[in-house]
Amino acid sequence: MSQADGKYWFPAKRYGWGWGLPSRWQGWVFLLAWMAVLAGGSQWLMPSHAALFVMGMAAIMLVVCFAKGEPPRWRWGDRDRPRGTDDQAP
């Protein structure tokens, strides 16, 4: 997905660094599937390989967010928004 089309699954947070909740249905499907694997996998994998399981799940989430989300950078709310791009109509 190119950055020019603006169809990110995960929009950037308004404050801080990182991503917020999904903004497209594909992001919601991924998030729900990821949470299901996290819950189900923890029953079988956590007791014997807890660190490996947690690192693997975090890596999967980060890879998908970097690939399908807005480019991450520090944001400071409305100060980072370019002038003339208000969400509200005059």
Position 15 scores a pLDDT of 85
Residue indicated by tokens 């944001």: 75
Other C-beta atoms closer than 10 Å to the C-beta of 54 total 14
Check: pTM over 0.85? Answer yes or no.
no
Please check whether residue 42 is in contact with residue 50, taking contact to mean a CB–CB distance below 8 angstroms.
Answer: no
Least confident of 4-18, 27-41, 52-66: 4-18
- pLDDT for 12 beyond 60: yes
Report d(CA 21, CA 12) in Å as an integer: 9
In the chain, the DSSP E strands lie at 15-16, 75-76
Coil, helix or strand at residue 74: coil
Position 20 scores a pLDDT of 84
The domains of the chain are located at 21-67
What would the pLDDT profile of 37-88 be if each residue is shown by its tens digit?
Answer: 888 877 776 667 778 888 888 999 999 999 998 988 887 876 655 555 544 4
